[in-house]
């Protein structure tokens, strides 16, 4: 840790931090194991990512069509030593040099969370450094301000609106001076989850979201039309289950037609053949348009209620190509400063966890060694 002044300082658990200074060079080791990715990263308190390593368990979960919780915990236990060693190697650091440790505490699969949280606490205890238990969504929320490895993060404005679209969440938040208020969330499925379920019906392998996006991208003609869900009570909440049902029904109709004309039934047709049929591609294109249309609809309505200057968009489904193409136009028309998460940090990663902890550390938070527990569900902003 480097100090350049003796101005106001704060003494926490084994660490002395000058809050007033911008030249503080504390290093945070981040650990993220909330679902099926084992991730470690080293980020400094200025938000510069020194290394970010994500080890995917896709091959282990693929045969089951989705994430199997027991397999995920076991794989985290197996993978973390190599992931941690690689994160330190890429950052060119010894473990002893880190100044604080952070791990995701919630929400997620409880067994998976426990692996990372216990590891983080044990490392911090052994190193006699502070420990931070971070809410996964807080990590996503600030991730659009991270820059590619080696560059200092942009400073997040005091007030901004955050859209998080992932496999577990679809929500809008207002962030004001560090306080986070939920403006809207999904009443049923999350956006990424629906992409996965639609792809699963076609026999695609997990995670189906990126593949469905790719197939829709390849369809140049107009897609099948689906309506955009609205909540009757006028709330801004999202809802994707109606779109999912409409899409699955439309796919079933196409699949029935395909099976009439094929020698074998649709279930026997390999997925890569099915997704080449025009009917399937038109349905997937229309589905994607309606899913992204719903996101834009909620943003529109929110903007009419309260204008905002900055929109930060994050989460695994923020990799969606149509969404990434549509948002810059939407924002430009309203003079909104759009912060679209870099593709490296859209999916789950530990850099975002370390960065969120770094913000707390700089704000004088001493960490939460003994108080923090893992939780499969936890509203953002809970103690
Ligand atoms: O943030 P993330 O890595 O994990 C969660 O916290 O959920 O998000 C993963 C989700 C999966 O559902 C995946 O299918 C979806 O993000 N996803 C996409 C795309 N890339 C990933 N969904 C739609 N279009 C994509 N290009
Ligand atoms: Zn996530």
Query: What are the extents of the domains in the chain?
Result: 19-148+346-362, 159-341
Q: What is the pTM of this model?
A: 0.91
Judged against a pLDDT cut of 50, whether residue 10 lies above it is answered with no
Q: Are 355 and 91 in contact (CB under 8 A)?
A: no
195 lines ligand 1 (CB under 6 A): yes
Class of CATH domain 19-148+346-362: alpha beta
Q: Are 105 and 118 in contact (CB under 8 A)?
A: no
CA-168 nearest atom, ligand 1: 7
Highest mean pLDDT among 10-19, 232-241, 366-375: 232-241
pLDDT score at 54: 97
Mean pLDDT to the nearest integer, 181-192: 97
Per-residue pLDDT band for 120 (boundaries 50, 70, 90) equals very high
320 lines ligand 1 (CB under 6 A): yes
| Ligand of minimum distance to the alpha carbon of 138 | 2
* The domain over range 159-341 is classified in CATH as 3.40.50.620: no
Q: How far is CA 330 from CA 296, 298, 333, 337, in A?
A: 8, 12, 6, 10
pLDDT score at 11: 38
Pocket test for ligand 1, best of 135, 163, 347, 378 (most atoms within 8 A of CB): 347
Same fold yes or no, 19-148+346-362 and 159-341: yes
- Sorted by sequence, the CB contacts under 8 Å of residue 198 that are 6+ apart come out as 208, 212, 244, 247, 248, 251, 284, 287
Which tokens is 74 given?
């076991």
- Residue at token pair 């440790």: 101
Lowest-confidence region among 19-28, 144-153, 158-167, 188-197 = 19-28
Residue 200 CA to residue 216 CA, distance in Å, equals 15
Per-residue pLDDT band for 266 (boundaries 50, 70, 90) equals low
pLDDT score at 36: 92
pLDDT score at 111: 98
pLDDT score at 15: 43
Residue 198 CA to residue 203 CA, distance in Å, equals 9
Judged against a pLDDT cut of 60, whether residue 6 lies above it is answered with no
Residue 383 CA to residue 290 CA, distance in Å, equals 36
Pocket test for ligand 1, best of 34, 195, 212, 349 (most atoms within 8 A of CB): 195
Q: How far is CA 73 from CA 38, 57, 70, 199, 368, in A?
A: 10, 10, 5, 25, 23
pLDDT for 207-233, tens place per residue? 999 999 999 999 999 899 999 988 888
With 0-12 / 13-18 / 19 or more C-beta atoms within 10 angstroms meaning exposed / middle / buried, residue 266 is: buried
The end-to-end CA distance of the chain, in Å, is 28
**Phi, psi angles (nearest 5°) of residue 24:** -65, 135
pLDDT score at 162: 98
CA-34 nearest atom, ligand 1: 6
- Name the percent of the chain lying above pLDDT 70: 91
Which tokens is 221 given?
């003609």
User: Which residue's alpha carbon is nearest to atom 10 within ligand 1?
Assistant: 167
The DSSP H or E segment spanning 148 is: none
**Phi, psi angles (nearest 5°) of residue 6:** -110, 20
Residue 163 CA to residue 161 CA, distance in Å, equals 7
Q: How far is CA 252 from CA 196, 216, 245, 249, in A?
A: 16, 17, 10, 5
The sign one gets for the Cα dihedral 64, 68, 70, 76 is positive
Mean pLDDT to the nearest integer, 104-113: 97
Q: Are 102 and 119 in contact (CB under 8 A)?
A: no
Ligand 2 ion: Cβ-proximal residues, 5 Å cutoff: 166, 348
pLDDT for 359-371, tens place per residue? 999 999 989 877 7
Q: Kind of pairing, strands 49-56 and 37-44?
A: antiparallel
Smallest CA-to-CA distance from 198 within 181, 178, 213, 220 is with: 213
For residue 176, the cross-strand partners are: 159, 179
With 0-12 / 13-18 / 19 or more C-beta atoms within 10 angstroms meaning exposed / middle / buried, residue 148 is: exposed
pLDDT score at 259: 73
């Amino acid at each position: 840790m480097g100090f350049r002044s003796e101005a106001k300082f704060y003494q926490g658990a084994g660490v002395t931090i000058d809050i007033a200074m911008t030249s503080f060079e504390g290093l945070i080791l981040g650990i993220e194991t909330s679902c099926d990715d084992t991730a470690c990263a080293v980020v400094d308190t200025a938000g510069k990512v020194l290394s970010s390593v994500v080890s995917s368990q896709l091959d282990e979960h693929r045969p089951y069509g989705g994430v199997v919780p027991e397999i995920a915990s076991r794989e985290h236990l197996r993978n973390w030593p190599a992931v941690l060693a690689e994160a330190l190697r890429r950052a060119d650091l010894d473990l002893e040099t880190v100044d604080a440790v952070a791990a995701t505490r919630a929400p997620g699969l409880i067994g998976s969370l426990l692996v990372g949280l216990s590891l983080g606490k044990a490392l911090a205890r052994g190193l006699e450094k502070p420990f931070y238990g971070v809410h996964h969504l807080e990590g996503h929320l600030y991730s659009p301000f991270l820059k590619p490895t080696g560059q200092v993060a942009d400073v997040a404005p005091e007030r901004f609106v955050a859209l998080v679209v992932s496999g577990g969440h679809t929500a809008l938040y207002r962030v004001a001076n560090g306080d986070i208020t939920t403006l809207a969330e999904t009443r049923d499925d999350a956006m990424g989850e629906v992409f996965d379920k639609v792809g699963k019906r076609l026999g695609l392998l997990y995670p189906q979201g990126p593949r469905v996006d790719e197939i829709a991208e390849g369809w140049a003609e107009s897609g099948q039309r689906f309506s955009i869900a609205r909540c009757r009570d006028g709330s801004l909440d999202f809802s994707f289950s109606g779109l999912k049902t409409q899409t699955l029904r439309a796919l079933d109709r196409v699949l029935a037609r395909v099976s009439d004309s094929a020698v074998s039934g649709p279930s026997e047709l390999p997925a890569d053949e099915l997704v080449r049929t025009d009917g399937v591609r038109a349905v997937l294109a229309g589905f994607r348009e309606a899913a992204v249309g719903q996101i834009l609809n909620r943003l529109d309505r929110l903007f009419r209620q309260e204008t905002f200057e900055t929109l930060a968009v994050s989460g695994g489904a923020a990799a969606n190509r149509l969404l990434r193409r549509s948002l810059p136009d939407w924002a430009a028309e309203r003079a909104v400063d759009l912060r679209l998460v870099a593709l490296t940090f859209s999916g789950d990663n530990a850099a975002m966890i370390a960065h969120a902890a770094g913000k707390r550390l700089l704000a004088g938070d001493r960490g939460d060694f003994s108080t923090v527990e893992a939780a499969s569900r936890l509203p953002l902003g809970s103690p």
